[in-house]
Amino acid sequence: MDAVLELTHVTRTYRHGPHAVHALRDLDARLYAHSLTAVTGPSGSGKSTLLQCAAGLDRPTSGTVRLAGREISAMGERELTRLRRARIGFVFQSFNLLPTLTAQENVLLPLRLDGRRRDPVRARRMLARVGLDGRADARPGELSGGQQQRVAIARALITEPDVVFADEPTGALDQDTAAGVLELLREAVGEHGATVVVVTHDPAVAARADRVLRLADGRIAHDTVGVPA
C-alpha cells in the first residue's frame, strides 16, 4: 500500500523567549489511503502541531512531509494555499464556517476559491450526504453545533481531497451529536474511500479508528492498528 502522507524525521520547535518548546521530536509516520487515523495523547503532546505540519498549515523546523508524493514541507505559501483548497479538507472544533454565507455557499467555497464554476447541485448532493437536505439556504447562526460540523465535513469532502484533517471535530458537541459526526467521517472512509486524520481526546473516536497514534512528549508512544468496532 502507498502512503498518502509521509512524515520523516519531523521536528517542530517553538521559541518562547529564551525557552525552546519541542512540540514534535524527530517523528516518523506513514499514513495509508482509505483509512481513519486517530491521533490522541495528553494536552501538549504535539497532536495539533502534528496535524498542522501534516496539513501544510505549519512548517516543520526540520524533516519532511510528503502528501500524495509531493513534498509539502518545501512549498512556498502560495503553493501551499492552492494545495489546501484542492487537495486537503479541514474540520475544526468550532468556527468552521463563514457566518455570512449560507450552508451551500460555505460548502462550495473551496471550489469557488479555486476558480471553478458554481455548482449548486453538487453542493446539495453533498449536504444531503451529511444529512442536511433542505438546509442549504440556512446560515450557520441558524444551525445547531452538530449541523454546523456536518456542513464543515461536507465542505471538507467536496473537493474529494487526498486527506481530510479534523482537529477535535466532536470536542464541542454532546455525546449523541458527536456520535453522528463520527459516523459521517467513518462513512466517508468506508463508502467513499476518503482518508481521514482526526486529532481527538475522545475515546469514542479512537475506538472507531482504523489506527490510533498515541503521542507523548512530541513522539509516537503507541501505534495501534485496530479493527474498528
| CB of 226 vs other proteins, minimal distance in Å | 29
Provide the residue type at 60 as one letter: P
* Paired sense of beta strands 163-167 and 196-199, if any: parallel
| CB of 219 vs other proteins, minimal distance in Å | 22
Q: What are phi and psi of 83, to 5 degrees?
A: -60, -45
Closest to 52 measured CA to CA, from 28, 23, 78, 26: 23
Q: Cβ neighbours of residue 32 under 8 Å, at least 6 residues apart?
A: 1, 2, 3, 4, 195
Q: Which is nearer to other proteins, 91 or 212 (CB)?
A: 91
Q: Which is nearer to other proteins, 172 or 216 (CB)?
A: 172
197: part of which helix (H) or strand (E)?
Answer: strand 196-199
CA neighbours within 13 Å on the CB side: how many for 65?
Answer: 25
Q: What is the DSSP letter of 127?
A: H
Q: Which is nearer to other proteins, 84 or 208 (CB)?
A: 84
| CB of 228 vs other proteins, minimal distance in Å | 28
| CB of 1 vs other proteins, minimal distance in Å | 28
Q: Which is nearer to other proteins, 110 or 218 (CB)?
A: 110
| CB of 3 vs other proteins, minimal distance in Å | 23
| CB of 14 vs other proteins, minimal distance in Å | 12
Closest to 59 measured CA to CA, from 40, 78, 73, 77: 73
Q: Which is nearer to other proteins, 33 or 57 (CB)?
A: 57
Q: What is the dihedral of CA 58, 61, 4, 29, to 10 degrees?
A: -120
CA distances from 14 to 42, 75, 77, 221 (A): 18, 20, 19, 21
Q: Which is nearer to other proteins, 17 or 115 (CB)?
A: 115
Judged by the rule CB under 8 A, the positions of this chain that interact with other proteins are: 52, 57-58, 77-78, 81-82, 84-86, 90, 92, 94-101, 105, 109-110, 112-115, 139-141, 143, 148, 155
